[in-house]
Chain A
Amino acid sequence: MPIKSRPIYPGLKLDQRARRHLVAAEGEGALAVLAIFEGKGDAAASATIVYTPGGSAGEDHAEKLADLKPDALHVMPSQETAIVRLNGLLGNAAMGTRLYAAGVEGFIGKVIASGLEHGVDHQSIYTEHCGSLARRVQCVHCKGMTENVTATPFTCSHCGLNLFVRDHYSRRLAAFQGVVVDCETPGELPEIEELYR
């Protein structure tokens, strides 16, 4: 059953009219970036790429991105540092700059949230989902974020409550909502289901 509030990522597409391309990629998202700039030297020359290898650290994606000869390539150690760098770039960007995001869902969500903060409409951001289907979930009780949630219910990494993952996605927080499941009889949990089957 398709999840209604779950965001849809139509895939990266090079916007030929854009004057500049600001590309944020995580892990396997690098492959989507390579695909759209393949053979497009001019476009690559006006692209700034922020890349964090994530789980793909063993691969040589960063070198391949460098081979595109982008205007600038920033390889960052984590999603957080990548987003900080992206925010700096967005703060100085002019209209005519198109924003792209590729990688795991949590990362795309953070890029979209950064875009929104800089006045970029989420509909004008190109996105492609690559890699793990894990969700980022916010516990509605302690407000703590747990990354890489792949099953429901799960245990909140902050307050330890058993949380059910609701299909409600907050674009601002770039996270799904987790709500306690066993408040009546603590410890009595429904069967654990894997997300996304």
Chain B
Amino acid sequence: MSGGVEIPVRVSRVEQATATVKRFSLEAVSGEPLPLYSAGSHVVVTMAAPDRKIKNPYSLIDRAPDGSTYRIGVLRTRDSRGGSAFMHERVEVGTELSITMPVNLFPIVRTGRKHILVAGGIGVTPIYAMAEELRRQNLPFELHYAMRDAASGAFADELVARHGDKVRLYRDDAQEIIAVDRILWRQPLGTHLYVCGPEGMIDAILAGGREAGWPDENLHSERFMAHVSGEPFSVRLAKAGVTTEVRPDQSLLEAIEEAGVDAPYLCRGGACGQCETAVLEADGELMHHDHFLTEEEHASGKKIMTCVSRLKGRELVLDL
């Protein structure tokens, strides 16, 4: 299954949250309430660009109490290959898009006794939803949010207004950095940590957690990697009997979809494992960018995660 049921939606509101982040409210075209979801969920948004379909995952910030809308936050990335630029430039109130059912690869652990939420930049979107859910359930938590400067903390004011001193803000321009060892110090047994943000930040926080003697079961992260563009190459889908080109601005998965082949995916960010595909032949070097396969699997050259990885070379033959 490739994302499953799609829900046609219409943009009902656009907020310019900061210079680089827009928040979009989406309502079902059918007028029906959107499904309930658990905090940490994302949807994959399909955008109909003139020449192609772009599919990007975005975390859900919230759902209106009556289910009439979902909100997503989109950062305009400088090297954006299409998705976020499209959302920023072409999408306005009234634009129709389509979303998948919400999928949660970053859930709150129910048995946890306390929860530490850590966000960097746009990584705040799932964290925002998690804080709200923890507040509703009256569970102990703290939230640490790092942003570039005061103007780029799209969610900072709202978070502080809703959660008060549970929220700590860190501004890069004021040399405020999240001191992992201080945060992790003397947390009660059964505490869970969740981090979403830039790669480097996630790695540092997780490393700090392990260093502090936290078991892996209590450390959770979500990485939404910007698509990795690269050189063009051609891909042959052995079972489907189709050969197509992967353009530089396109992911392997998108090219497969454009060729009319329904390939599996969930996160489109190299994390969930759903898009794992067997490599039959590779005339060139596999450029792995996922966080799912082990190093040995990467080295074996037998598997590829189509959502983020690609080939540097001439032709890739997949078991699809």
Contacts and interface: CB of A to CB of B under 8 A. Distances in A.
Interface stretch (B89-97, B184-192, B252-260): B184-192
B157 interface: no
B192 to A, nearest CB: 8
A78 interface: no
Interface stretch (B10-18, B24-32, B69-77, B210-218): B210-218
Contacts of A20: 213
Interface in B154-196: 184, 186-191
Given A17-B211, A120-B190, A124-B217, 8 more contacts: A18-B213, A94-B188, A95-B189, A118-B113, A118-B190, A119-B112, A121-B215, A123-B217
B189 A97 contact: yes
A183 B261 CA distance: 58
Contacts of A95: 184, 187-191, 212-214, 218
A190 interface: no
B193 to A, nearest CB: 9
B218 A96 contact: no
B207 to A, nearest CB: 11
B111 interface: yes
Task: Please give me the 9 A-B residue pairs with the lowest Cβ-Cβ distance, nearest first.
Answer: A119-B190, A96-B213, A124-B215, A121-B217, A119-B113, A93-B189, A18-B213, A95-B187, A19-B213
Contacts of B210: 17
Question: From DSSP, what is the main secondary structure of chain B's interface residues?
Answer: loop
Contacts of A182: none
A183 B136 CA distance: 49
A90 B114 CA distance: 15
Contact of B213 (A17, A116, A120): A17
A77 to B, nearest CB: 26
A121 B188 CA distance: 14
Interface residues of B, number: 21
A85 B113 CA distance: 20
Nearest to B192: A119
Nearest to A125: B215
Residues of A in contact with B, size category = 10 to 19
Nearest to A20: B213
A98 interface: yes
Nearest to B212: A96
A20 B186 CA distance: 12
Interface string B204-230: 000000111111111000000000000
A71 interface: no
18 contacts: A15-B213, A19-B213, A90-B189, A94-B186, A95-B190, A95-B213, A96-B213, A96-B214, A97-B189, A98-B213, A119-B113, A119-B190, A120-B189, A121-B111, A121-B218, A123-B217, A124-B216, A124-B218
B136 to A, nearest CB: 19
A15 B213 CA distance: 8
A92 B64 CA distance: 40
Contacts of B217: 121, 123-124
A120 B218 CA distance: 9
Contacts of B188: 93-95, 119
B11 to A, nearest CB: 41
A123 to B, nearest CB: 5
Contacts of A15: 213, 215
A98 B114 CA distance: 17
Interface string A74-103: 000000000000000010011111100000
Contacts of B191: 95, 119
A93 B111 CA distance: 16
Contacts of B109: 121
A116 B189 CA distance: 11
Contacts of B211: 17
A43 B190 CA distance: 22
